[in-house]
């Protein structure tokens, strides 16, 4: 990739990330389909954040707002919590539905969003 111009290299990097996330989603879906009955329900927002959300919301992968970046969350905090929960449940921009946590219940997703909102206030 040394000969590629910067925009082309960024495009290739983005494609590589997309392939990675698609394979991750497929793995998660396969895992969830075979183990859903063994996954404990009612996990806390902190647990869901640590297990599923932190990967993107701590590092900023694919433009996810970092929980440490209060400026990035200022716009989001103007929205209602229900709007942010809907985004988490159904996906928004590059974030897949449920943040790829197919084993998470609606209540767990809501708890994770509320946990993140408390961290960024």
pTM of the entire predicted model: 0.66
Give domain 37-120's CATH superfamily: Cytochrome c-like domain (1.10.760.10)
Handedness of CA 82, 39, 102, 24 (dihedral sign): positive
Q: Return the domain boundaries, the chain.
A: 37-120
pLDDT tens digits along 3-19? 555 555 565 565 666 66
Q: Supply angle C-alpha 42, 68, 90, rounded to 5.
A: 45
pLDDT tens digits along 76-102? 999 999 999 999 999 999 999 999 999
Q: Residue 94 class from Cβ within 10 Å (0-12 exposed, 13-18 middle, 19+ buried)?
A: middle
* 37: confidence class by pLDDT, cuts 50, 70, 90: very low
Q: What's the first-to-final CA gap in the chain, in angstroms? A: 41
């Amino acid at each position: 990739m040394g000969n590629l111009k910067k925009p082309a290299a960024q495009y290739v990097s983005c494609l590589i990330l997309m392939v990675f996330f698609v394979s991750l989603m497929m793995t998660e879906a396969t895992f969830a389909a075979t183990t859903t009955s063994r996954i404990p329900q009612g996990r806390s927002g902190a647990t869901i954040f640590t297990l599923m959300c932190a990967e993107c919301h701590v590092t900023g992968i694919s433009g996810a707002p970092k929980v440490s970046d209060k400026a990035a969350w200022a716009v989001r905090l103007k929205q209602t919590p229900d709007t942010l929960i809907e985004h988490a449940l159904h996906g928004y921009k590059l974030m897949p539905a449920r943040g790829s946590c197919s084993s998470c219940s609606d209540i767990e997703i809501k708890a994770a969003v509320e946990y993140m909102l408390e961290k960024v206030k």
